[in-house]
Structure 1
Amino acid sequence: MLAHAKAVTAYRELALAGEIGVVLNLTPSYTLTDSDADKKAAGYADLFFNRSFLDPLVKHEFPKALCEILAAHDCLPTTSKDDAALILSADIDFLGVNYYVPRRVKARESEYDLDYFTPEYYFENAVNPQGRFNPYRDNNEILPQAIYDIAANIRDNYGNIKWYLAEIGIAMDRESEGEPGADGVIDDTFRIQLMEEHLVQLHRAIADGANCFGVHQWTFIDNWSWINAFKRRYGFWRLDLETGERQIKRNALWFAELATSNGFTSDK
């Protein structure tokens, strides 16, 4: 955050006509039950993974609860007053949001057995037994509603700062995408269907006042990931690792039409 603040400050000193922002990975936390204990667990997860960045960068304040927790575990970073002030004074013009999957949590049921501190001291990660899951991405939960919830959170708690979806994508593996059809197009309909569901929620959020101005789908071409190499595919175009050949996917044609017409018809 200090490097970010210095970059914003340097940009402002140039007195350019453009805008500057920051991209954050926002992952809403959801409970398994409506119990107070589970809700408290979700609050802790949100504090560590979302508010720890959003609050200082957008609201210009460090979350008091987070500072108290980190101090209690002897994990509070040492920051000079000047550096802290610089972080909190760096105004951004917009926010970029990366979103892929929701986070499910529950109150701790087992004893925390690590000899060092992690956020999971205050909650346990969970799996929603009634959830939908992506069989091509480690059975991660599919929850388009999360897009609406992110938008509502920014609208209600962060001054409705303007923002855009900097990354959103649907992972598939090569086998599940299949081979090109007679028209030469790879038919990744599963990806299109899920993207539609997420964008319907974004459209609903905009209708309810969210200040979102754009969407970038991840990504142009299948690329290497530091987590799983080329196992998870996101591209509009397939990359053949042996020949270097590029093959277009139906998602690319769908997104091109979406961008051209600025919308699509859906019954969702």
Structure 2
Amino acid sequence: MTIYQFPTDFKWGTATAAYQVEGAANIDGRGPSIWDTFSKTPGKVYGGDTGDVACDSYHRYKEDIQLMKELGVTTYRFSVSWPRVFPLGQEEVNQLGLDYYHQVVDELLHAGIEPMCTLYHWDLPQALEDKGGWWNRETIDAYEKYAELMFREFSGKIKQWITFNEPWCASYLSNYLGIHAPGHQDLQLATTIAHHMLVAHGKTVQMFRELQVEGQIGIAPNLTWAVPYTNKQEDKDACLREVMWTGDWFLDPIYFKTYPKELLEWFEKEGVSPPIIDGDMNIIAEPIDFIGVNYYSAGVSRFNENAGMLQSEAMDMGLERTDIGWPIDARGLYEALHYVADKYGNPSIYITENGACINDEPNLEGEVDDKRRVNYLKQHIIQLHRSIEDGINVKGYMAWSLLDNFEWAEGYGKRFGIVYVNFRTLERVKKESYYWYGKLVKHNWFESTQ
């Protein structure tokens, strides 16, 4: 039996996103987002599901915060619905929407839970999409106005800010692969959007400094980790392209004022390049306080000239998989954290998302015994502990997710929560993983034979 003890100031938390949990899509002045439009487009979301009701956290936030208080976490990462605050993306503020977030933050603080706010978790106001969305540089200005309002309203109350969640998903998954809203399939469009998001990020960080907002600000990319199938250079290069596309493409401009050379050259072969104008790279490179790391899975890949734009083919190594089909390999978290620490000077890191899709249902006693999720969390938190022991500067861990929720294009068919949600009655049921995680949080250590 081994005991894994964490630093005394380590922050344990959990996370959600507005469109996935809030519901109340047409209530109290909220405007439509690209996800409202996308989810109502036939064939885009499994089962025709939408986020209209989701977990109804808009009305049940006190119940959900009480769940977190009982869990014992000290940090809650949530996102603000931009169209709930600015129904048209800019111009008039929806005071009812703003009041809602004040109520949530006040309730969190009263419960002794520190809010960590994500400004953009994919729900772009549809009114801005109708004007070109993130392809249009005017959206950068609208995002700045939205961010400024949030900083001024919540300065002193929210001290941890994230500009963008998983910018790769919001750009390439959504606008090149077309799997997420708004569903375009154009590599240059996606690359332009990725660049504009980075400029918006940089301008927002600059404004954060100018306003002298108390606290810290960062960005949260989703890190892919890929291990070469063989020692052949072409396999190593294919894996590096995978890793760079989701992480380095967004972090190199922040830390080095340039995009990764390997991917720039790869995109140029496709006739694609970021639309950089004078001053952009200096803006993007405004120093941040931390990197948020979203990590779920690792893979083994090899070069295959017919395997998509990156020419990287995932290999089936017979690993156990979660119920969304992602292989479980916790060592990838350890290796990805080392990669980030080595490349970017060992910055402060928060694990802003980590969790597993396990679709266990309540048994006859009404209990959800999700042992596979417990095992997943245990394996990954061991690798997290291992990283900290190596000197990597990880400050906290947010389990994804507090609640089963609307899982984007997968609808309600995939469950990531440590609390079960009955989507007919909206009843919440604590899972075995909730109790396991709560024990870890309470003691700041756990023991394992793994």
Deviation at 1:92, TM superposition (A): 0.4
Alignment counterpart, residue 376 of structure 2, candidates 194, 198, 203: 194
1:130-141 counterparts in 2 under 5 A?
131-138=318-325, 140-141=326-327
Deviation at 1:60, TM superposition (A): 3.5
Q: Is the 8 A contact 1:222 1:238 kept in 2?
A: yes
For residues 200-235 of structure 1, the C-alpha deviation after alignment (integer angstroms, 9 at most, x for no partner) is 111111101111011100111110122211111111
Distance 1:102 1:59 in 2: 26
Deviation at 1:123, TM superposition (A): 1.8
Distance 2:270 2:315 in 1: 28
Answering whether residue 315 of structure 2 is matched by residue 127 of structure 1, we say yes
Q: What is the match of residue 170 of structure 1?
A: 356
Q: Is the 8 A contact 1:181 1:187 kept in 2?
A: no
Q: What is the match of residue 40 of structure 1?
A: 237
1:49-68 counterparts in 2 under 5 A?
49-68=246-265
1:229-248 counterparts in 2 under 5 A?
229-248=411-430
Q: Is the 8 A contact 2:258 2:281 kept in 1?
A: no
Helix, strand or coil for the counterpart of 2:279?
Answer: helix
Q: What is the match of residue 252 of structure 1?
A: 434
Alignment counterpart, residue 400 of structure 2, candidates 207, 212, 218: 218
Distance 2:230 2:262 in 1: 24
Read off the aligned partner of 2:353 and give its amino acid letter: E
Relative to structure 2, which stretch is displaced further, 8-17 or 67-76? 67-76
Answering whether residue 341 of structure 2 is matched by residue 155 of structure 1, we say yes
Deviation at 1:181, TM superposition (A): 6.0
Answering whether residue 307 of structure 2 is matched by residue 106 of structure 1, we say no
Read off the aligned partner of 1:76 and give its amino acid letter: S
Q: What is the match of residue 117 of structure 1?
A: none
Question: Which runs of 5 or more residues in structure 2 are unaligned?
Answer: 1-197
Read off the aligned partner of 1:3 and give its amino acid letter: A
Read off the aligned partner of 1:205 and give its amino acid letter: S
Answering whether residue 288 of structure 2 is matched by residue 92 of structure 1, we say yes
Change (3 A) 1:202 1:258: same
Aligned length: 253
Distance 1:189 1:78 in 2: 48
Q: Is the 8 A contact 1:45 1:123 kept in 2?
A: no
Distance 1:237 1:122 in 2: 37
Aligned Cα root-mean-square deviation (Å): 1.8
Distance 1:228 1:72 in 2: 33
Answering whether residue 203 of structure 2 is matched by residue 6 of structure 1, we say yes
Q: What is the match of residue 135 of structure 2?
A: none
For residues 122-168 of structure 1, the C-alpha deviation after alignment (integer angstroms, 9 at most, x for no partner) is 42322233x31225222x21100011011111221110001011000
Q: What is the match of residue 115 of structure 1?
A: none
Moved over 4 A (4+): none
Q: Is the 8 A contact 2:367 2:431 kept in 1?
A: yes
TM-score, normalised via structure 2 length = 0.54
Q: Is the 8 A contact 1:170 1:234 kept in 2?
A: yes
Read off the aligned partner of 1:155 and give its amino acid letter: A
Q: Is the 8 A contact 1:32 1:128 kept in 2?
A: no
Distance 2:232 2:261 in 1: 24
Distance 1:49 1:67 in 2: 14
